[in-house]
Amino acid sequence: MDFERVAALYDRDIWPLWSGPFAQLLLREIPPQLEQPILEVFCNSGELSLVLLERLVGKARLIAIDPVQDLLDFAREKTAHYIRQQRVFYHHSELFDRFRLPDDLFGLSCSNLGLFYADPPDTMIEEMFRTLQPGGTVILTLPLRGSFLDLFGPTRTFLEQIGEEEAIRQLDMHEMQYRLPEQAMYLLHKVGFERVNLRRQSFRLFFDDAKSMLEHAFIRRGFLDLLLPVLRRHEREPVILGLIQLFDMMRAGKPLELVVRAGCLLAQKPQVEEDTGFF
């Protein structure tokens, strides 16, 4: 695979529309100066890593993990200056694998959308807890249930009309990946995090028309590519054309807007209780 092409596609199409707004939500919760070791899980092409590196002071270092080697290679190119200074170290790891890192190492651990894409997310959260110092903070972003209603709802209705039951089941499964707020918070509570808080904010994705929406790399790869392979009664092209006609009729000459319900989870690893020496 041509990693430069893949990473360039991510930076050009996915980051500005999708990952970037979540990263801004995450960065609001991070201090302007970082003095302790930082862990970034699901670093992708290194866009967020660059901002974190600019905030490091003293002997602070960044460890960044991602499951896609091609994106890690691109992140290394972007941050070559910091690599030479030994300020950042990249690790290739699947999000369901144990991290090859010691316990209680980091003062801050963060992940932009890793909680959404890790399936299941339990190991990732457990490892972020294990490697965090007592009293350390974890920050994770994710899209919440209620995102993309204006995409999911009409698409489901269309698929029902043409009798594509398997595609409807796939759509339902995809929608369930968007967790309810209480589900997201429970994931942190159950591994031992305390002071769990969820900050919420909505943002909108804008498209000129239905064709540009359905052809956008984010919508195509993250949505249509889940449905089209399981069509049983129709060819792909007529289904895509039908969806274009449906959404263009709905927009009535105006740009299409898709609402994303974004969440930012913050929590703390409990402090170690001191032994008072009393029986």
In this structure, are 127 and 218 located in the same domain? no
Query: Has residue 274 been placed in a domain?
Result: no
- Mean pLDDT taken over the chain: 93
Count of the separate structural domains present in the chain: 2
pLDDT score recorded for residue 266: 98
In this structure, are 136 and 158 located in the same domain? no
Going through 35-131 in order, the beta strands assigned E by DSSP cover 38-41, 62-66, 88-92, 106-112
Report the SS3 class of residue 199: strand
Query: Has residue 128 been placed in a domain?
Result: yes
In this structure, are 126 and 153 located in the same domain? no
- Are 29 and 140 in contact by the 8 Å Cβ rule? The answer is no
In this structure, are 136 and 170 located in the same domain? no
What domain range is 38 assigned to? 1-143
pLDDT score recorded for residue 70: 87
Query: Has residue 101 been placed in a domain?
Result: yes
Report the SS3 class of residue 227: helix
pLDDT score recorded for residue 3: 45
In this structure, are 135 and 155 located in the same domain? no
In the chain, helix, strand, coil percent, each to 5? 45, 25, 30
Separation in Å, CA 73 to CA 41, 88, 105? 15, 13, 25
Query: Has residue 228 been placed in a domain?
Result: yes
In this structure, are 45 and 132 located in the same domain? yes
In this structure, are 92 and 26 located in the same domain? yes
Q: Indicate the pairing of strand 88-92 with strand 194-207.
A: unpaired
Taking 50 as the pLDDT cut, the residues of the chain under it are 1-3, 278-279
Query: Has residue 164 been placed in a domain?
Result: yes
pLDDT score recorded for residue 274: 63
Query: Has residue 131 been placed in a domain?
Result: yes
In this structure, are 23 and 111 located in the same domain? yes
In this structure, are 224 and 124 located in the same domain? no
pLDDT score recorded for residue 53: 97
User: Residue 118 sits in a domain of what CATH number?
Assistant: 3.40.50.150
pLDDT score recorded for residue 258: 97
Backbone φ and ψ for 106, nearest 5 degrees, come out as -105, 145
In this structure, are 10 and 138 located in the same domain? yes
Query: Has residue 276 been placed in a domain?
Result: no
In this structure, are 210 and 130 located in the same domain? no
In this structure, are 112 and 214 located in the same domain? no
